[in-house]
Amino acid sequence: PVCRYVSKTATSIHLDFDYDGPSMKTPVPGPRSQDLLKQLGDIQNVGAINFFCNYEESRGNYLVDVDNNRMLDLYTQISSIPIGYSHPALLKLMSNPSNMCSFFGSGEFNWLGKDNFISVDEKKSKAVLAVAPSGMTRVQTMACGSCSNENAYKAMFIWYRNKERGDKTPSNEDISTCMINKAPGCPDLSILSFMGGFHGRTLGCLATTHSKTIHKLDIPSFDWPIAPFPRLQYPLEEFTRENAKEEARCLEEAEDLIVKWRQKGKPVAGIVIEPIQAEGGDNHASPKFFRSLRNIARKHGCAFHVDEVQTGGGSTGKFWAHEHWGMDDPADIVSFSKKLLTGGYYHKDELQADKPYRIFNTWMGDPSKNLFLLEVLNVIRRENLLEEVTHSGKALLTGLYELQAQYPGILSRARGQGTFCAIDVCDDATRNSILLKARDKGVLLGGCGDCSIRFRPALIFKEYHAHLFLNIFSDVLAQFK
């Protein structure tokens, strides 16, 4: 019973579309989910499916499954639900007949442009440009995070080769050799990435993804450099000297790799990095680290690509996690997806592809998702959700600190920015058991890295929800004493 009081009760802030708490009817997956898993398993791989959802009944911070289990969702489809389930503003948007053409008329976008891609409220600017990162003047929409990064890499390679040529056009040799996958038409360029990073599962992205073996096993890859990402000690403020030394080591090795790959004849055209390594274990680095890395990119003529697929959209307390670095010119390219509902990348003018069809695919984003995004941005501003994230994130992280002090043999290294938080568990098996027991008590969490639990609630997650979760989580942990 004493575990119930690990966290105080916060005042419940009423949301018209939110439930008052979890409600569990069956273990998860329940009978209906198991039946559907069997049916779907006859035609495709269902190993990654945990249960089937009832989105009609899901509201606010709560996801309901087909067995009528109602769960407080702190994972949100890997950070992809920006303002909760069934938000009234989005339901109203869907009910507007004038928006219907965005859904049934959304074919290939880059060949036949759509006038409703232009912001509904501001005809002069596209919806996604309303939240453009500092120094970014252009945006290229895509369908998902992987294709966003894949095409951002292509943009960096095109920019680098055009910079090398100067005013010259591609030679006849460039044109002929590219068709048979040979240099100089297919140059030996590379992208520097970091151990623990995750940038997607397509072939180019996989060459820069270093989080789990299951992603990479049996897939051919490129000879591209991989730098160490700082392995910091937490809380950060208590280990400033040790962490500064670790970051200096990683920066030195990153710069050495750029030099070595140039000497190998495979110059680094770009550097890609996450502001917080998410899939790889919620690994943080200081603003100084990123500012120094940005300077290294400038020094060696490399494009600097910040992957904000998981961190973008407000969960760190700022719309972009790289805003915490305090830079006017943080990047040359910033990729996004998940909470922004569509995919794509922002970029400077000079990284615009020089010819049509060089950056191109079937969908090139989705005008209907831009309508959703514009309304999400309106809700974020109207409801001051970035401030809410800061408050609820502080409550969540404070509670995690208290729990790791209470269970030092189980939990360690609590860390976070806003509600983008994580904590380590003593081993992988215990971590996975905690996730399942929490789910059966009505809380959805996700794992990352070797033994971490990550927290990715929606932006409407309040301090009340943080305390509600912490008490349930404490009850789960009590089973492991």
Bridge-based pairing of strands 420-425 and 452-455 is antiparallel
* 307 given a catalytic annotation: yes
CA distance 78 to 63: 13
- Give the separation between CA 309 and CA 394, rounded to whole angstroms: 23
Q: Rounded to the nearest 5°, which phi and psi values hold at 300?
A: -100, 10
Tell me whether residue 318 is one of the annotated catalytic residues: no
C-alpha 154/C-alpha 353 separation (Å) is 9
198 is catalytic: yes
Q: What strand order describes the sheet that includes 446-448?
A: 411-417, 420-425, 452-455, 446-448
Q: What is the pairing mode between strands 333-336 and 303-307? A: parallel
Q: Measure the CA–CA gap between 390 and 379, rounded to whole angstroms.
A: 16
Residue 362 designated active-site: yes
For the four alpha carbons of 109, 113, 116 and 119, in that order, the dihedral sign comes to positive
Which position among 25, 362, 427, 428 bears the catalytic label?
362
- Rounded Cα distance between 103 and 410, Å, is 48
Round to whole Å and give the CA distance between 2 and 314. 35
Check whether the bond before 235 is cis (ω within 30° of 0): yes
Burial per residue of 240-274, b for 16 or more beta-carbon CB atoms within 10 angstroms, e otherwise: eeebeebbeebbeebbebbeebeeeebbbbbbbbb
Q: Which of 18, 307, 332, 424 is catalytic?
A: 307
- Amino acid at site 159: W
- The 8-class DSSP code of residue 59 comes to B
Residues 6+ apart with CB under 8 A from 380: 82, 83, 314, 319, 386, 459
Q: Which of 1, 13, 22 is nearest to 395 (CA)?
A: 13
- Of 289, 304, 338, 461, the catalytic one is 338
Maximum Cα interatomic distance, the chain, rounded to a whole number of Å: 78
Active-site positions read 198, 307, 338, 362
